[in-house]
Structure 1
Amino acid sequence: MPRRHSLVLGAYLAWSERAEGYGMRKLRQRQAAGKEDPARIGERRGIASLDRPDGPLVWFHAASVGESVSLLEMIRRMGEERTDLSFLITSGTVTSAEVLAGRMPPRSLHQYVPLDVRPWMRRFLDHWRPDLAVLAEGEIWPALLHESAKRGLPVAMVNARMTDRAHRKWRRFARGAARALLHRIEHVQAQDRATADRLLDLGLPPERLEVTGTLKEGSKALPHDERERVALAAALQGRPCWLAASTHEGEEAGAAEAHAQARRAWQKLLLVIAPRHPDRATEIVDGLRLEGWRVARRSEGEAIEADTEIYVADTMGEMGLWYRLCPVSFMGGSLVPVGGHNPFEPAALGSAILHGPHVHNFADIFARLGEAGAAREVQDWDDLGTTLARVLEPDEAARMAHAAWEVCSAGGDVTEAAMDLLFAMLDGVD
C-alpha cells in the first residue's frame, strides 16, 4: 500500500500508545454528561471488575443497545450447543448495560469496552484472554484490531453494517489504514450488498466476505402457564382486550385515557396493565379507582368479572401470558422519555405493536417493525386511543401480528450462518 497510508495508521497507533491522558479527559467529560457509570468507570480503562471464567471464552462486542440485543439469542444457542463455552459481552453505553441486565444468557458476563487506547486495550486483553473476538455491526477499532492481531486472536465481524457516511470518511482520510485494519479481520458477514461493496472498496479481501442478511434477535418466546391462559380466556368470554406492557409512572393514567376513547367503538373492551415495576401497583390501582374505573388486581387474586374495565397484572414472570391473550400491545416507556422496551417479546407471540416516539433503547428494532407494517407509532394518548380502535379490528390486528412474527423469525438463517462461522473459527477450521 502507498507509504502515506501506512503512516496514517502508524501515526494513530503511536498516538494511541500515549493517549491515556486524552482518554481520562474524555471519560471525565462523558461522566459529567451522565454517559458513563461512575461505579464501573474503570472498565473503560481496561480494568476488569469481574474474574475471567475458566475454559474457552468468546468475546462479543456490540456498539450499543440494538446491536447487543441482537446477539443474545445466538449466544444462548451457542451456549446450549457448547457447554464448555463462556461469553463476554462488551458495549459502550450505560443504556446497553441496563437493557442487558437480567437478560444475559447462561455463562455470560458484561463489561464496558475500553476506549481505543492501546495500554487500556492491552490491559483488557491480558485479563480476559479471549479465544475469539466477534464484532457486531461493523465499527473499525484500530487499537483493538492491532492488539488482537499481535496476540494472534482471531477476529470475526457479524451483522456488519457500514453507513455511506462512515465509508466516505474512511475513504477520504484513511483508506490505506482501513485496508490494513480490515486485513486483520478473518471473516465478515455483512447485512446487505451496500455494506459489502463499501468494505470491498476499502480493501477487505473478497474471499473473507459474505452477505448473509440482518442478524435479528429472534427471541425465544416468553413462557406461560397454559392452564392460566385457558382460565383467563374463559373469564374474558370473548371480550376484546389490549395490553399496556411495562408501563412507567404517568403511562397508566394515559393508557386509561386511550382506553376510554377506544371503548366508544369497543364497548366491552378490557385493558390489561402490566407495570414495569409491580411494587407501584397499589398506587396505580388506587389512582384508577379514584377516576371511577372498575379495576381488578391480579396479585390480590381478584377475578376478571363481566364489569371489569381494567385488569392490573402486577405479577412477575407472566408477560408471556399477557402477550398471548392480548392481540394488541402498547409498549410502555415510549410515551414518556424512558426509551422503550423490547418489542421482539410481543412480536414473537403474535401481538400487534403500538408505541410512542421515545424508543431509542431499541430504535433499530422498532424501525424494522414499522417498515414491515408490524408496529405503529403514536404521538400522544389521544392518538393511541384513535389508533387502538382501528388496530383492534380482527383483520388489521392479524395482519400486523403476522408481520411482527415474520420480522421476529426472519433472522433464523442468518443466526445459523453466524453460528457455523464462529464454531468453525473456534475449531480452527478454514
Structure 2
Amino acid sequence: MLSDVRAILHLTWPLLIGQLAAIAFAVIDTSMVGRFSAQDLAALGLGGSIYVSIYVALFGILAALSPIAGNLFGAKRLPEIGEVVRQSAWLSLALAALGMVVLYFPEPLLRLSDAPPVLAERATGYLRILSFGLPASLAFRIYGGVSTAIGRPRFVMGVQIVALLVKIPANYWLIFGGLGVPALGGLGCALASTAINWIEAVLGMILLARGQPYRPLAIFARFSWPDARQLGELLRLGLPMGLSYLIEVTSYTFMAIFITRFGTPTLAAHQIAGNVGAVLYMTPLSIGIATATLVAQALGAGQRDRARTISRHGILLAGAIGLGYATLVTATRHGIAGAYTNDATVAHTAAGLLLIVAAYHCFDAVQATTSFVLRSYRVTVVPTVIYAVALWGVGLGGGYAMGFDTLGVLPVWLTGANGFWIANTASLAVAAAMLVLYLRVVVRR
C-alpha cells in the first residue's frame, strides 16, 4: 500500500499546487470583490455559477483525452497520442463556439434566478467578458490533459503559478482602479481572468511544440483534418463525462439561482461557502486525477491487478485526507468567514454554512476520486446516471423542498440556504456509496 500511496502522492503534489493556483483565481475574485461591495459579490456568485456550469460541461467532454492518452502511454504507442491531441483541438474549437454563444447571451439562464435588474445586469456583463476567454481555457485544458496522461503535471503547475502571479496585481488594479483605470468591481476580475486565460493557452502551446517530453508524441509532426472515427471515440467517452460534470456543477448552479431569492446577504454567504468547498475539492480532485492516471497507464500495459490496488488505495487516501480537512474547517469556520468579508451578517451566515460544508467535503472526496478511477476504465454512462439520480434528484430536488419548506413542516434551521446545502450533502453521500459499489462490479468484471 505504501508504494502505491507514494506513487499517487508523487503525481498529486504538482497537480494540487497547480489546481490550488487555478482555484486561487476564484478565491481572489471572491475576496477582493467582497471588499468592493456586497452587490458585486452577489453578481459574481450568480454569474460565476453559470460560467462554471458551461465551462465544466465543455471541459468534461474534452477530458476524454486524458484516459485515452494514458492508455496509449501505458501501451507505449506514443505517436498515436499526437493524433488524439490534434483531434481534441478540433473538438475544442466547436465546443468553444457553442459556449461563447451561451455565455454572451445568458438572459434565459438569469431569468430563472428572479434576480433584481441591477444584479442581473452586472452578472450579464461579467459573463460576456468571460466568453472571450473560453476558447483559451479549453485549449489550455488540452495541454493539461495530455501532460497529466504522460506523467508530466509539473509543467502544467508551472504555467498555473505564473498565471496566478499575474492575476493578483491585475485583479487589484482592475477591481479597485488606478493609473487612469476606473474601479470596475466584478467586471475587473472578469477582464483579468480573460487576459490570463490567453496567456496560459499560449504558454501551453509553446511547451507542447518545443518541450522535450512532448517530442515523442509528434503532436505538431503533421496537420490532421477532423477524423470521424477518432472524434467519435472522444465523444463516446466525453459526452457522458461532460454530462456528469454538468450535473455536478448545475446542482450547485441552481442552488445559487434559488438562494438568490433569499436576498443578497444570504447569496454572498453561499458564495463564500461554495468557494471554500471548491478549495477543499482541489485535494481529492488532484488525488483522483493522479490515481486515474496511474490506473489508465496500468490498464494500457495490461497490469489489471495493479490497476485494481491503485484504485483502492487512492480512494482510501482521498477519504482520509477529506476527514482531516472537515475537522479543520469545523474548528476555524468563523475565522474563515471573517477573512472573506467585513459584513457581520454575511460572515455569521457563512460560518453556519461552513459547518455543513465540512460534512459535504467528506463525501465529495470519496465520490470524486471514485468517478475519476471509473473513467480510467472507460466507464462513463452508469456514473452519469448515478449523478443524475443523486445530485439532481436528492440534492437539487430535496434542496428545493427543504430550502423553501414546500410542505411547511420543517424547523427554520433546515430551511433557506441551510436546506439546500444539507440536501446536497446527502446527495453526495448517495453518489459516493453507489459509485464505490459500481467500481467493485467493474473491477470484478
Question: TM-score higher than 0.5 here?
Answer: no
Q: Which has the larger radius of gyration?
A: 1
Q: Could you say which structure has the higher strand fraction?
A: 1
Q: Could you say which structure has the higher helix fraction?
A: 2
Larger RCO (CA within 8 A; separation ≥ 6): 2
